[in-house]
């Protein structure tokens, strides 16, 4: 997402029949600019923008948002977006060990705690970065002339942060991909994501632990065997639909296209250097060895309490043993305790994918099972130890739980 | 009913009076008000100098 020009970021553009900001947002205009932003008024330029001026008043939600939105402001202090609980869990597990979670994060070395509280928290996030302006990750700017939007804007808010993976997936930007079928049907983020974004999530390890996270069967959208008129009642689903015993496939295994993976994220903004918009080409490199690339890998689900099915789609996430060296923490002590190929939910769903497309006469199993004439070709859809060894030699132990070698059917060729 | 109407009018008036920053009319380019500049594209193009940077793309 290209940043706005400086003047665009702060322009309150009046429409026809509008004579002031009060015509854009009659309620918030009553508060007055300086009552939230500080500075002085009336005053000349320098005095108006003095040291008391605050660019994002919602960083101090207690003072500026709570007077009218007390309950939301209070619970939002501990929301997933504000606190990045999942990031705290992943750092705690890679530093302290697999048995730890976000509640142990404060026991990590000071360099990690301080780094997250400053660099990560600078984007995770404020009321204004969702409801007034673009977020800090794309350097801000009013979305609707400083109108407070009840529902965040999908492109300018949600996808500004969830850009290199979710947005790219959803819009089909990767070369060879098509847009997600839900995107083509004009569905918005909040059509599925009905979870309370402001809820206190302090008891939640990560976003995948949220109780009200969307599923494919929510709202009766895709219920198996619910009628012949629905495409979900078919022989493939009857064989592969995940059951309560932990068998079957995650929906993504059959219905996702290749998705962005990232390697070697470093802190202090190093990874952003040289970043280019995905869509121009398929490989993007940044500073410190950061790289993005498309891939599709089926892995073994070792946590069936959290995710359905024995087989899941996994994505290489941007972390490395020395990711936080710029914070003064050279190596994560328990890096091998958590896979770097993690469960993923690519937002690039299609009925027909490379796995399910039978238009060339092949069956689904011929497209996917590692047997017969296409065994070698199909093997590239799976996360094997040999693949980890050749491409990610520093992650052999960490990724062992998600590799498929010990779990594929006995008749399959192993790679 | 009349009492309620009057009470509401008084309360609404008090709230408006308490919150009103005291500016009766906004005029584009008026250098004395925040809004005067921020509704004026020409003025902002002249004065806005915040350093622009490459987007991160997010996660």
- Assembly ipTM: 0.80
β-partners of residue A131 are none
* DSSP code, position A85: H
* Contact: A162, B59; criterion CB under 8 Å: yes
- Residues contacting residue A335 through CB under 8 Å, at least 6 positions apart: A94, A321, A398
pLDDT 10s digits, A264-310: 887 877 666 656 666 556 677 777 778 889 999 999 999 999 999 99
Mean pLDDT of chain A: 91
For B59, the closest of A7, A35, A165 (CB atoms) is: A165
Chain A partners within 8 Å of B44 (Cβ): 6-7, 10-11
Of the pLDDT bands very low, low, confident and very high (cuts 50, 70, 90), residue A255 is very high
H helices of A60-123, in order, are: 61-64, 66-76, 80-83, 85-95, 110-118
Mean pLDDT of chain B: 63
- Least Cα distance to A183 among B58, A212, A191 occurs for A191
* Contact: A35, B21; criterion CB under 8 Å: yes
Residue A207 has pLDDT above 90, yes or no: yes
What value does the mean pLDDT take over residues A67-83?
Answer: 96
More confident site: B30 or A391: A391
pLDDT at B21: 46
> Hey, is A69 helix, strand or coil?
helix
pLDDT at B56: 41
Cα–Cα dist A320/A368, whole Å: 30
**Is residue B47 within 8 angstroms of chain A, CB to CB?**
yes
pLDDT at A229: 52
Q: How far is B5 from chain A (nearest CA, A)?
A: 21
Q: How far is A115 from chain B (nearest CA, A)?
A: 18
Of the pLDDT bands very low, low, confident and very high (cuts 50, 70, 90), residue B17 is very low
Residue A313 Cα distances to A347, A370, A412, angstroms? 12, 16, 19
**Is residue A39 within 8 angstroms of chain B, CB to CB?**
yes
Residue B3 has pLDDT above 60, yes or no: no
Q: How far is CA A99 from the centre of its chain?
A: 24
Least confident range of A152-161, A324-333, B6-15: B6-15
pLDDT at A237: 87
Beta carbons of A163 and B58 less than 8 angstroms apart: yes
Of the pLDDT bands very low, low, confident and very high (cuts 50, 70, 90), residue B22 is very low
Least confident range of A52-61, A119-128, A183-192, A279-288: A279-288
Q: How far is A121 from chain B (nearest CA, A)?
A: 14
- State residue A5 phi and psi, 5-degree precision: -65, 150
Question: Over pLDDT 90: what percentage of chain B?
Answer: 14
pTM over 0.90: no
Side-chain half-sphere CA neighbours of B16 within 13 A: 10
- Least Cα distance to A303 among A126, A139, A89 occurs for A89
């Amino acid at each position: 997402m290209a940043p706005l020009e400086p003047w665009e970021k702060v322009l309150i553009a009046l429409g026809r029949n509008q004579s002031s900001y009060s015509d854009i947002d009659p309620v918030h205009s009553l508060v007055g600019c300086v009552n939230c932003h500080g500075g002085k008024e009336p005053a000349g330029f320098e005095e108006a923008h003095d040291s008391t001026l605050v660019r994002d008043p919602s960083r101090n939600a207690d003072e500026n948002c709570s007077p009218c939105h007390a309950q939301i402001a209070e619970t939002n202090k501990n929301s997933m977006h504000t606190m990045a609980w999942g990031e705290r869990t992943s750092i705690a597990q890679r530093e302290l060990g697999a048995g730890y979670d976000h509640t142990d994060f404060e026991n990590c070395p000071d360099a990690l705690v301080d780094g997250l509280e400053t660099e990560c928290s600078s984007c995770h996030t404020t009321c204004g970065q969702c409801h007034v302006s673009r977020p800090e990750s794309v350097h801000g700017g009013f979305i609707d002339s400083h109108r407070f939007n009840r529902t965040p804007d999908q492109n300018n808010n949600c996808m500004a942060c969830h850009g290199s993976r979710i947005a790219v997936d959803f819009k089909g930007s990767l070369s060879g991909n098509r847009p997600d079928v839900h995107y083509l049907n004009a569905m918005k983020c909040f059509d599925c994501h009905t979870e309370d974004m402001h809820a206190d999530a302090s008891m939640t390890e990560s976003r995948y632990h949220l109780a009200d996270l969307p599923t494919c069967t929510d709202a009766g959208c895709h219920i198996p065997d619910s009628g012949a008129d629905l495409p979900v009642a078919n022989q493939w689903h009857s064989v592969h639909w995940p059951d309560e015993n932990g068998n079957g496939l995650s929906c993504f295994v059959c219905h996702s296209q290749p998705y962005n993976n990232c390697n070697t994220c470093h802190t202090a903004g190093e990874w952003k250097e040289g970043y280019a918009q995905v869509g121009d080409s398929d490989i993007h490199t940044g500073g410190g060895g950061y790289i993005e690339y498309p891939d599709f890998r089926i892995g073994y689900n070792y946590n069936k309490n959290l995710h359905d099915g024995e087989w899941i789609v996994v994505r290489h996430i941007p972390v490395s043993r020395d990711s936080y060296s710029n914070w003064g923490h050279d190596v994560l002590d328990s890096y091998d305790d958590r896979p770097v190929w993690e469960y993923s939910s690519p937002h690039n769903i299609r009925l027909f994918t490379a796995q399910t497309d039978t238009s060339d006469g092949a069956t689904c199993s011929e497209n996917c099972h590692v047997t017969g004439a296409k065994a070698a070709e199909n093997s590239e859809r799976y996360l094997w130890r040999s693949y980890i060894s050749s491409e990610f030699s520093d992650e052999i132990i960490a990724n062992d739980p998600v590799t498929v070698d010990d779990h594929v059917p006995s008749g399959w060729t192993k790679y | 009913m009349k009492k309620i109407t009057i009470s509401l009018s008084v309360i609404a008036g008090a709230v408006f009076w308490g919150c009103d920053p005291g500016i009766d009319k906004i005029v584009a380019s008026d250098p004395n008000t925040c809004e005067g500049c921020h509704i004026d594209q020409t003025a902002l193009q002249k004065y806005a100098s915040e350093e622009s940077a490459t987007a991160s793309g997010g996660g």
